[in-house]
Structure 1
Amino acid sequence: MPKTTINVQQALGLRVRELRAERGITQEEFAERCGVFRTYMSRVEAGKANPTLTMLYVFSGALSVTIQELLEWPTVTSVPKVRSREKLSRGRVSK
């Protein structure tokens, strides 16, 4: 994956960090409001955790935004191509 492409977890983490910082809330305070450990929140903001839908609801409430606002980030304009195998035959790849 090219370095300029970010995945959904990274985009969510950046958005959470952005909204939290705009409100002047520390990561530790935000984690406490959400009922999670600060280390988990750090992983979310770093794009290394995959929060559940329930946690997204908790995050949005703690940030006083809708889930839709929480999930707003720039639209991806290009999707990297993934090479697929040409033909599969009896578990072997044909070339």
Structure 2
Amino acid sequence: MLKIKKARKKVGLTQLQLAKKVGINREYLSRIENNHSNPSLELLREIANALEVSVKDLIEDEIVSIPYR
């Protein structure tokens, strides 16, 4: 799960503004933010650059700790 929406809101951009910055339409950005589409690595880099964060910042850690019994 990506953290694009959280990062976008943090910098105060609308979906339309971010979509225009990276050259995609707002609907596609919405699908990416809601995990209905996966961006290419290149697009993910462009989104990260537009939001002034690293790609790593946009990737959610999903490591679950399972207690040893």
- With normalisation by structure 2, the TM-score equals 0.86
Number of positions where the alignment pairs a residue of Structure 1 with one of Structure 2: 66
The letter of the residue matching 1:70 is L
User: Corresponding residue for 1:4?
Assistant: none
**Counterparts of 2:34 and 2:19 in 1: how far apart (Å)?**
14
Q: Which has the larger radius of gyration?
A: 1
Unaligned runs of 5+ in 2: none
Question: What are the ranges of 5 or more consecutive residues in structure 1 without an aligned counterpart?
Answer: 1-10, 79-95
> For 1:30 and 1:42, how far apart are their aligned partners in 2?
11
Give, in angstroms, the shift of residue 63 of structure 1.
Answer: 0.4
Find runs of 4+ consecutive structure 1 residues off by over 4 angstroms.
none
Aligned residue identity for 1:77: V
Q: Percent identity?
A: 32
Higher strand share: 1
- Of structures 1 and 2, the one with the larger relative CO (CA 8 A, separation 6+) is 2
The alpha-carbon deviation at position 68 of structure 1 amounts to 1.5
Q: Distance in 1 between matches of 2:35 and 2:63?
A: 17
Amino acid across the alignment from 1:57: R
Measured in 1, the distance between the counterparts of 2:49 and 2:8 equals 12
Cα RMSD of the aligned pairs, angstroms, is: 1.6
